[in-house]
């Protein structure tokens, strides 16, 4: 999509659930990284400890890198890549049950705060909705942590796999999924709470139309038919939104069951530290 605003020099910030960083590396991740011209990238579901990553993944050329692994092997995990090093970086919500799953990075770049999150899925081991309370508790705790920043005009971008399709327009088959975690009323209400508090869905700010998704089942033909869900977002606080020039989805990029999403922001968002 193309913004109607005059093209100016911007910073590009992207988010991508790679569904296993080592697996994505075998499917062209590094090629995408080197061609993408991103300034900051948040990765989710990296599924590896840092010492399990080959050097090109652990320390990509031109980027500072930081990874958080889950205590459980091969599960969850997030990573942050940035061309300029952050001023500070926090990975804890102060609740052990969340922190051991390696789901969060909160990085400060001057006056900009970038939050990279892998929000829990509400589905349990039996494909029920037993993890929904845990998922909602994660949302609520992160909201609580970020609220002082947002309320005081802070420049905050929250990006990642939110594991929730907010509205009917955000998935191809809403009626069939009304009882599925990711589109349950209580999950959608929690997303509403964020938006009502002032968080802006950057993609929807620029694109009101249907048919735009970020995740597709790996069942044969599903992605080709674009039967997907939009569960990856970059939310902006009102303080940050004034610097956002554009937002989009790279649905053609392969390598994961998710695709990358991005925003372009004016460099002034960084201000001074």
Positions annotated as catalytic residues are 161
Q: Where are the alpha helices (DSSP H) in the chain?
A: 21-25, 29-36, 55-58, 96-99, 132-151, 185-197, 202-206, 238-241
The C-alpha atoms of residue 138 and residue 121 are separated, in whole angstroms, by: 10
Classify 262 in phi/psi space as left (phi over 0), alpha (psi -120 to 50) or beta.
beta
The C-alpha torsion from 20 through 144 and 190 to 211, rounded to 10°, is: -50
Q: How many helices (H) and strands (E) does the chain have?
A: 8, 14
By the 8 A CB rule, do 81 and 60 touch?
A: yes
For the sheet containing 155-161, what is the strand order? 88-90, 104-109, 112-118, 155-161, 232-236, 200-201
Q: In angstroms, what is the C-alpha Rg of the chain?
A: 17
The C-alpha atoms of residue 28 and residue 26 are separated, in whole angstroms, by: 6
Q: What is the DSSP string of 65-88?
A: EEEE--SSTTS--EEEEESS--SE
Helix crossing, 185-197 with 132-151: angle to 10°? Answer: 0
Q: How far, in Å, are 47, 194, 218 from residue 69 at the CA level? A: 7, 27, 24
């Amino acid at each position: 999509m193309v913004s109607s605003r005059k093209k100016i020099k911007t910073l590009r910030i992207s988010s991508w659930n790679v569904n296993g960083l080592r697996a994505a590396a075998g499917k062209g991740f590094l090629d995408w990284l080197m061609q993408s011209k991103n300034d900051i990238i948040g990765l989710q579901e990296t599924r590896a400890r840092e010492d399990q990553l080959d050097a090109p993944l652990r320390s990509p050329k031109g980027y500072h890198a930081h990874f958080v692994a889950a205590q459980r092997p091969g599960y969850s995990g997030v990573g942050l890549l940035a061309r300029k090093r952050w001023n500070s970086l926090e990975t804890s919500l102060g609740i052990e049950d969340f922190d051991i799953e390696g789901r969060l990075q909160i990085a400060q770049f001057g006056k900009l705060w970038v939050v990279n999150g892998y929000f829990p899925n509400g589905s349990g081991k039996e494909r029920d909705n037993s993890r929904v309370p845990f998922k909602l508790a994660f949302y609520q705790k992160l909201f609580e942590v970020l609220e002082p920043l947002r309320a005081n005009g802070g420049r905050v971008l929250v990006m990642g796999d939110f594991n929730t399709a907010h509205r009917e327009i955000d998935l191809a088959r809403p009626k069939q999924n009304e009882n599925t975690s990711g589109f349950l009323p209580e999950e959608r209400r929690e997303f509403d709470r964020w938006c009502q508090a002032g968080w802006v869905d950057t993609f929807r700010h620029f694109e009101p139309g249907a048919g735009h998704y970020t995740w597709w089942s790996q069942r044969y033909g599903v992605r080709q038919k674009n039967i997907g869900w939009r569960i990856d977002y970059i939310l902006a606080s009102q303080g940050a939104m004034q610097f956002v020039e554009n937002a989009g989805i790279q649905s053609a990029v392969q390598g994961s069951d998710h695709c990358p999403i991005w925003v372009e922001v004016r460099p002034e968002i960084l201000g001074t530290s």
